[in-house]
Amino acid sequence: MTQTQDTLSIRQMCDAFDVTPRSLRFYESKELLFPIREGTRRHFTKQDRARLALILRGKRFGFSLEEIRQLLNMYNRDGSNAAQLMRTLDIARARLCAMQAQQDELGLAIADLHLEMAEGQRMLTRMQQASPKTSAPTHHAAE
């Protein structure tokens, strides 16, 4: 229960999260992570691990590191005062809006692409029927 030394080296972090040392140092330089500095060495705490998990998720969602930094502040309740919290919420609202717009556009694009692909598929089928390279057994889009 009293685990006093719950900290990872940079290499252990890399292995645990499948990132490069460069990235971790970069994130620290951008103030996304704050490992304990024992002299020159870094020690990543449980907090850092949690933050890194959120960073990686954010990246998958297409956020920039700067945006992620903003959101981390919200997740962490660093800004313990109302004004700061309100600004953070504003940022979140804006991001949310953008994300929803993007999701909608993505939906449209997906539908369009489906249509174009169907058209291409039809053309391909016609072409293959026109010039059968092999004697062509019933080759129905073999997956």
124 binds its own copies (CB under 8 A): yes
9 binds DNA (CB under 7 A): yes
The C-alpha atoms of residue 89 and residue 68 are separated, in whole angstroms, by 14
Return the residue matching tokens 């949690």. Answer: 50
Return the residue matching tokens 């660093």. Answer: 78
Q: Which long-range contacts (CB under 8 A, 24 or more apart) does 17-25 make?
A: 17/49, 17/52, 17/53, 17/56, 19/52, 19/56, 24/52
89 binds its own copies (CB under 8 A): yes
Return the residue matching tokens 């039809």. Answer: 122
**Binding characters for its own copies, 24-53, by CB under 8 A (x = yes):** ------------------------------
List of residues contacting DNA (CB under 7 A)? 9-12, 20-23, 25-26, 40-42, 59, 64-66
The residues of the shown chain that bind its own copies, judged by CB under 8 A, are 57, 60-62, 71, 74-75, 77, 81-82, 85-86, 88-89, 92-93, 95-96, 99-100, 102-103, 105-107, 109-110, 113-114, 116-117, 120-121, 123-124, 127-128, 131
